[in-house]
Structure 1
Amino acid sequence: MSNIALIFAGGSGKRMNTVSKPKQFLELRGKPIIIYTLELFDNHPMIDGIVISCIEKWIPYLEKLIKKFCISKVKAIVPGGDTGQDSIYNGLETAKDLFTMDCSILIHDGVRPLINEKTITDNVESVLNYGSCITCIPATETFIVCNLEGLIDIPSRKDSLIARAPQSFLLQDILSAHRRAQSEGRHDFIDSCSMMNYYGYKLHTIVGPVENIKITTPTDFFIFRALVDVHENQQIFGF
């Protein structure tokens, strides 16, 4: 069974306050965020191919970056959609044409460059064993569930996780859910696990690294830069 990474990079970077480039193309030490992310999957021995969903007018620029940084496993780059959900759907339809429907597909944000090899391995193995994998981190603060009238519940923190990415499934399952959402005119699912839960699929979770943040704001970028420094120091000085 093949293991495919679907990287969606369709965001415009409004919360990052970027003017010249979308956030996924912002650089740290001469390397764009999207390349940090792609390298993780490109270098992983269990990943057989990569599909990228990107802002259409930025596809030629991304193609140049992929060539410059020697990313070898990208099989297709497709235009993104109006929403993150639509961008993922476009990538899934392309993956269907390139690979078999029984492959596993790891859906990941292009601006989430701080996962590690173990997280990818755990996702692949979880899909093989359970049919799905939602990468999470433990909840460190209290969640309050509320509606328009106010507070209705406070879940136990010890029983709560925060969903991040990758979110991984059998291609046939996640594509079926997306097609159902399309037929119902639903384009507002916040992420893949929300959609799969809504349509009744059982979801398996793993705990990934806490530093697996999504770089959405300037503060996130500063954290990313600091964590890259830490990782480099660990490699250089062995601590």
Structure 2
Amino acid sequence: MNVAVVIAGGSGHRMGQDIPKQFINVYDKPVLIYTLEGFQKHPQIDAIELVCIDGWHDVAWAYAKQFGINKLKWIISGGNTGQESIRNGIFNLEDKCSEDDIIIIHDGIRPLVDETVLSDVIVKCEKYGNAVTSMPYNEQIFVADDDISTVKYIPRETLRRVSTPQAYKFGKIDWAYHEAFENEIGIYGSSYANTMMVELGERLYFAAGSDKNIKLTTKDDLEMFKAYLKADKDNWLK
């Protein structure tokens, strides 16, 4: 079984809106539904679990019914951090998943889930036990020597930009979140499932990525998302 765990537990203060950014409507559809549709339409996804901000569960269920997201099986509450939210999602699956089931973790505010990227994440996870969406880094990266200068750079050929979706065998990711929270490893700051796994000594495997896989954090990101949607619509009209 392949289960998508969609993380939508944030409040989205940086967007400056009155509602969580995952519930902002874009062309008469919530951002979160665009995200869920990517998993709903993919033939290899068997079930969806949504980790959602408290007070919005009923709204999420209502939207799922309205837009035909019938693969959505569970909605649970998020935590105070992204890592706590992922942990809650993983732990909720302990009596529902087997060791070799594939868990695909994805940000609810990354609404442009590419079908080929999702397929490659699943294939790589089946082969290696995990897979992380990645892209080459095309800018030069310099290390600050002080506040105003540098004497060192990191060759960009050695770098990858990693985001979600990420896939892990359930037995391994369940073990990892127990280990991490019991021993306080890789669970603070901007850490995520992938960085936590590395801190626990695990090797990660790269899967395909897409430049369209943007994370909606600011109003500018939202405008970019709208532009992508309009471009897709225009291409379809041609």
TM-score in terms of structure 2 length? 0.94
Asked if the contact 1:138/1:207 (under 8 Å) is kept, the reply is no
Structure 1: segments with no counterpart, 5+ residues = none
Partner of 2:49: 51
Partner of 1:113: 111
Partner of 2:14: 15
Structure 2: segments with no counterpart, 5+ residues = none
Asked if the contact 1:115/1:208 (under 8 Å) is kept, the reply is no
For the structure 1 residues 29 and 200, does the alpha-carbon distance in structure 2 shift closer, same or farther, using more than 3 Å as the test?
same
- The one-letter amino acid of 1:137's match is M
SS of match in other structure, 2:195: helix
Give the Cα–Cα distance (whole angstroms) in 1 for the partners of residues 26 and 227 of structure 2. Answer: 11
| 1:92 aligned residue (90, 93, 103) | 90
Please tell me the root mean square deviation across aligned C-alpha atoms, in Å: 1.7
Give the Cα–Cα distance (whole angstroms) in 1 for the partners of residues 2 and 138 of structure 2. Answer: 32
Give the Cα–Cα distance (whole angstroms) in 2 for the partners of residues 90 and 209 of structure 1. Answer: 28
Residue 228 of structure 2 is aligned to residue 227 of structure 1: yes
Pairs within 5 Å for 1:132-143? 132-143=130-141
Give the Cα–Cα distance (whole angstroms) in 2 for the partners of residues 8 and 222 of structure 1. Answer: 22
Asked if the contact 2:135/2:210 (under 8 Å) is kept, the reply is yes
How far the C-alpha of 1:147 sits from its partner, in A, is 8.2
How far the C-alpha of 1:160 sits from its partner, in A, is 1.3
SS of match in other structure, 1:56: coil
- The one-letter amino acid of 2:178's match is R
- The one-letter amino acid of 1:130's match is Y
- The one-letter amino acid of 1:74's match is L
Partner of 2:156: 157
Asked if the contact 2:97/2:170 (under 8 Å) is kept, the reply is no
Partner of 2:198: 197
* 1:91-150 deviation line (CA, Å, top 9, x unaligned): 001122222121011100000011211011001100000111110122121223458898
Give the Cα–Cα distance (whole angstroms) in 2 for the partners of residues 145 and 226 of structure 1. Answer: 34
Deviates more, 1:207-216 or 1:34-43: 207-216
* 1:135-189 deviation line (CA, Å, top 9, x unaligned): 0122121223458898585221122111111011111111111111110235315
- The one-letter amino acid of 1:176's match is W
Give the Cα–Cα distance (whole angstroms) in 2 for the partners of residues 13 and 141 of structure 1. Answer: 28
Give the Cα–Cα distance (whole angstroms) in 2 for the partners of residues 60 and 200 of structure 1. Answer: 39
Asked if the contact 2:120/2:208 (under 8 Å) is kept, the reply is no
SS of match in other structure, 1:8: strand
For the structure 1 residues 90 and 29, does the alpha-carbon distance in structure 2 shift closer, same or farther, using more than 3 Å as the test?
same
Partner of 2:80: 82
How far the C-alpha of 1:40 sits from its partner, in A, is 0.4
SS of match in other structure, 2:110: coil
- The one-letter amino acid of 1:190's match is S
Residue 40 of structure 2 is aligned to residue 42 of structure 1: yes
For the structure 1 residues 93 and 229, does the alpha-carbon distance in structure 2 shift closer, same or farther, using more than 3 Å as the test?
same
Give the Cα–Cα distance (whole angstroms) in 2 for the partners of residues 45 and 207 of structure 1. Answer: 18
Asked if the contact 1:9/1:24 (under 8 Å) is kept, the reply is yes
- The one-letter amino acid of 2:173's match is I
For the structure 1 residues 147 and 103, does the alpha-carbon distance in structure 2 shift closer, same or farther, using more than 3 Å as the test?
farther
Percent of aligned positions that are identical = 34
Residue 101 of structure 2 is aligned to residue 128 of structure 1: no
